[in-house]
Amino acid sequence: MSINRNVLLERHRPLLKYDSNESYFADSAEAWTDWKENRLLQGERLIAATTPTDGTPKLSLPFLVPDEYEGKVKVEASDLIDCKGGDYAKIAQELHQDPRYRNRMYGRAAEDPKGRWWLQYWFFYVFNDFNLIGHLVKAGLHEGDWEMIQLRLGEDEKPDYAVYAQHKGAEVRRWDQVDVLPGTERPFVYVARGSHASYFSPGKHPLGPVWADFADGKRRSPEVRLEIVEEDQPQWRWLQWPGHWGGTKPPDVALPFDADSPVGPSGHSEWADPSALAPNLPEEAAPGEQTVASSLPVLKQALARREGKELLIDYDAESPDGQALRGLAITVNSPDDAGVPPLTRTIEADALSGTVKWPGEIDPGKHYDIHVSAAFDEHIATASRRTDLGPTA
C-alpha cells in the first residue's frame, strides 16, 4: 500500500486533553538537551554538557547519535542525560514558556512485519510525577518521560484500531469507538495527571485495588504541533540514540511506578514492530473488571481564597478506612499569563481538615483557577477540586 504519510499523520493528529492538576506538558525533546543544568554521562565520565567548560563538547539533539559521539567516543546503551536536580516543576514551566520548545509531538508511519501500516505519535515530557504527589509518597518520580499512541490503518488507509500506551501496557479500541474532535478525524487523548499515560476517556482509571490514574481532561488543551520524522534524514538521527532521557534510578525497594528514566522511542519494541504493543489484534481484548473500594479517602472540599497576595486553601478530607493524609497537590494557573503554564506544588499536611498556604505570592490584579487534590497513605490520590478567583485590584 502506498500512503501519503504526511497527509495521514496530520489528518489524525491527536488532541491532548490534560488533567486539571497537570503542570508538565508535551514539549520538544530539545528542551531536555538544552536545559542549562543537563549533562550527558557515560558512567562517571562527562561526555557533553549544555553549558560546557574546559573544552567539554556542547550537548544538543544533533550530538545524540546511535554509534559514535564527537571525539570518537563509542555510544553505550547505559548513557544518560542527567539533570543536576532541583525544582522540576519550575524547570518545566520555564522551558514551556519558550516557543522553541512548547507543545510538540513527533509522528511517523511504520510498517509491521505483516505489512500493516501504523501511524505513531510520540510525546516527550520533562518529568514524570505520578498523580503529582510523588514527592509526598516517594513513588513514581523520574526525569524524562516518553509516551505514545498509535493507529493501525486498514486497506482503505483509514484507521481500524487505536492503541494507547499506558505504563507497561496499552489499551485498545476499534476506531469507530474512539472519540474524535467533531468535524475531524483527530482522536482525543486524555493524559493522566503526572504519569502521562494515554486514555480514551476522561475520569479515574483504576490500576489495581489502590492505585489509579486521573485524567479529567479539564485543563485547557493547546494545539500541539506535529513534527513528522523523516528517518533517512540526518537531523533525526537523535531518535536512534539508545541512552536514557534522564538520570533517575529507582530505589532499592521500588514501588509499582518507580523506574529508570526511559530510553527514547527507538528503544521501545513498537518502534520496530508497531504490532508488538497490541499483539492480539484484530481481536479486541476485553479489559478485566477492576473495582476500587468505596471506602477509599476523598477530598470533600478545597476552597481557595485570597488574603492580599497570599493564597490560602481551606480543605476538608475524609478517610473511612483510617488512612493518614500526607498532603495536598495544588495547581495554580492564571489565564491572564499568556504562555505561562500552570505550576503545581505539594504541601505536607496530616490533619484531615484545615488551611494551608501556597508557598508564594499571587497577583491581586489577575484571575486564577486553582485545582487541589490530596495524597494519603497507600499512595492514594483523590480527584481534584477547582476554585476560580477573580482579581481584587
Residue-wise pLDDT tens digits, 48-60: 999 999 899 999 9
C-alpha to C-alpha distance for 245 and 40, rounded to whole angstroms:
10
The pLDDT of 155-184, averaged and rounded, is 93
Contact 20, 382 (CB under 8 A): no
Report which of 70, 21, 26 is spatially closest to residue 217, judged by C-alpha positions.
Answer: 21
Overall average pLDDT of the 322-335 stretch:
94
Per-residue pLDDT at 97: 96
Residue 147 scores a pLDDT above 70: yes
Predicted local confidence at residue 179, as pLDDT: 94
How large a percentage of the chain has pLDDT more than 90?
80
> Which range of residues forms the domain containing residue 53?
5-277
Same domain? 117 vs 208:
yes
pLDDT tens-digit series, residues 244-255: 999 999 887 777
**Predicted local distance difference test score (pLDDT) of residue 352:** 96
In a domain, 289, yes or no: no
Q: How much is the pLDDT for 286? A: 40
Residue 203 neighbours by CB distance under 10 Å: 13
- Indicate the burial class of 22 (C-beta count within 10 angstroms; 0-12, 13-18, 19 or more): buried
Q: Is 288 part of any domain?
A: no
Are 226 and 320 found together in one domain?
no
Q: Is residue 265 in a domain?
A: yes
| Mean predicted confidence (pLDDT) in 306-310 | 95
Q: What are phi and psi of 179, to 5 degrees?
A: -75, 130
Asked if residue 213 is part of any domain, the answer here is yes
Confidence grade of residue 225 (pLDDT, cut at 50, 70, 90)? very high
Reading across the β-sheet that carries 353-357, which strands appear in turn? 298-307, 310-318, 353-357
Task: Report pLDDT for 283.
Answer: 40
Q: What is the model's pLDDT at position 101?
A: 98
Who has greater pLDDT, 287 or 125? 125
For residue 4, pLDDT over 90 is answered with no
Q: Does pLDDT of 208 surpass 90?
A: no
Residue 284 lies in a domain: no
89 and 23, same structural domain?
yes
Q: What is the mean pLDDT of residues 318-342?
A: 93
Domain ends where: 277, 307, 340? 277
**80/219 same-domain check:** yes
Instruction: Please check whether residue 369 is in contact with residue 311, taking contact to mean a CB–CB distance below 8 angstroms.
Output: no
Domain end position, chosen among 244, 277, 310: 277
CATH number of 381's domain: 2.60.40.10
Verify that 257 and 305 share a domain, yes or no: no
Q: pLDDT tens, 277-296?
A: 998 886 443 443 444 445 78
Domain closes at, from 277, 309, 343: 277
CA dist., res. 115 & res. 203, Å (int):
36
**Residue 265: φ, ψ to 5°:** -50, -45
Sorting pLDDT into bands at 50, 70 and 90, what band is 334?
Answer: very high
Does residue 246 share a domain with residue 306? no
287 in any annotated domain: no
Nearest one of 138, 41, 111 to 49, comparing CA atoms? 41
- Statement to judge: residues 140 and 64 lie in one domain: yes
pLDDT for residue 293:
47
The answer to whether residues 265 and 154 belong to one domain is yes
Is the pLDDT reported for residue 139 higher than 90? no
Residues 314, 190, single domain; the answer is no
Is the pLDDT confidence value at 190 over 90?
A: yes
Count of the separate structural domains present in the chain? 2
pLDDT (tens digit, 9 = 90+) per residue, 350-387? 999 999 999 999 999 999 999 999 999 887 899 999 89
Question: Which among 249, 274, 323, 241 has a CA at the least distance from the CA of 33?
Answer: 241
Mean pLDDT of all residues belonging to the chain: 92
In SS3 terms, the chain reads as: CCCCHHHHHHHCCCEEEECCCCCCCCECCHHHHHCCCEEEEECCEEEEECCCCCCCCECCCCCCCCCEECCCEECCCCCEEEECCCCHHHHHHHHHCCCCCECEEEEEEEECCCCCEEEEEEEEEEEEEHHHCHHHHCCCEEEEEEEEEEEEECCCCCEEEEEEEECCEEEEEEHHHCCECCCCCCEEEEECCCCCCEECCCEEEECCCCCEEEECCCCCCCCCEEEECCCCCHHHHHHHCCCECCCCCCCCCCCCCCCCCCECHHHCHHHHCHHHHCCCCCCCCCCCCCCCCCCCCEEEEEEEEEECCEEEEEEEEECCCCCCEEEEEEEEECCCCCCCCCEEEEEECCCCEEEEECCCCCCCCCCEEEEEEEEEHHHEECCCEEEEECCCC
Say if residues 381 and 214 touch (Cβ distance below 8 Å).
Answer: yes
The label of the residue with cell 543544568 reads: 37
Flag whether 293 is in a domain.
Answer: no
- For cell 482509571, the residue is 205
Q: 251 and 354: one domain?
A: no
Q: Tell me, yes or no, whether 130 and 19 share the same domain.
A: yes
pLDDT (0 to 100) of residue 292:
44
pLDDT band at residue 117 under the 50/70/90 scheme? very high
Q: Are residue 260 and residue 186 in the same domain, yes or no?
A: yes
Contact 90, 343 (CB under 8 A): yes
Provide the pLDDT for residue 166.
96
Confidence (pLDDT) at 294:
58
Q: Residue 282 domain-assigned?
A: no
Lowest mean pLDDT among 2-6, 223-227, 248-252: 2-6
